[in-house]
Amino acid sequence: MLKNRVIPALLLQSGGLVKTRKFRDPVYVGDPVNAIRIFNEKEVDELMVLDIRASREGLEPNFALIEKFAGECFMPLTYGGGVRTLEQAGRLFALGVEKISVQTSALENLSIVREVSDKFGSQSIVVSVDVERGFFGSPRLRKCASGKTADVPWLEFAQRAVAAGAGEILLNAVHKDGTLSGPDLPLVTQASRALSVPLIALGGVASLDDIRKCVDAGASAVAAGAFFVYHGPYRAVLITYPAFADLESVLGNKNA
């Protein structure tokens, strides 16, 4: 197993698999269960499913659908979207989800992070930090539910989340989402230097070299969406994942 995880991040909307660009204009790209089965065959280390509609519309997680996902997954599953209470988190873990990812509920009150961490362990809770660069290039924290800028600075929010018990931070570069234009490496570097827990970099990855650059910048893991669901200049839908040998060659590390 490689030391640095490479994680497909699947976006869910109304039960279907979609892909966005800069968090806008979701395009249907297929059946999520079929995608999970393909990733099983590719022997993916970990999978992330994020419901982009739940928090925005005040919905709770679709437990029946998530149970189906967990039943199909041969790899650890992280789920995010609409998780607001300890009871919901416990229900998800009982279904087979290994980690939950929160953002909206954490921005409202970090007690959800503390409660989940205290009861299930810090390794079970990921906090998503969605960052976009403004007109002048300065990074700012974005609320995924409303699309508005949060009052708290992005790095301060990440540090508060860690202090509350978050076991990992998912750094999501909004301005890179779905663009296949390369990751925001300065953002990754800044976050990795300031945080004491593993950092997952998401947004912009277009090649194996981009994955290596994220790791070199300090990411413990690299997540990607478009890189694993699109193929070619016309963005034909093709669910894929690099061969282990190719990842090993690029990352050049293994767990002891």
Tokens 């909004």 belong to residue: 174
CA 151 to chain centre: 22
Closest to 239 (Cα-Cα) out of 20, 94, 36, 26: 36
* Contact call for residues 197 and 168 (beta carbons, < 8 A): yes
Q: Is residue 6 helix, strand or coil?
A: strand
Which DSSP string do the residues of 25-89 spell out, in sequence order? EEEEEE-HHHHHHHHHHTT-S-EEEEETTTTTTTPPP-HHHHHHHHHH-SS-EEEESS--SHHHH
Distances (CA, A) of 131 to 83, 143, 187, 234: 20, 9, 9, 27
Q: What are phi and psi of 248, to 5 degrees?
A: -60, -40
- Which residues are the active-site residues? 130
Residue 97 buriedness (CB in 10 A; 0-12 / 13-18 / 19+): buried
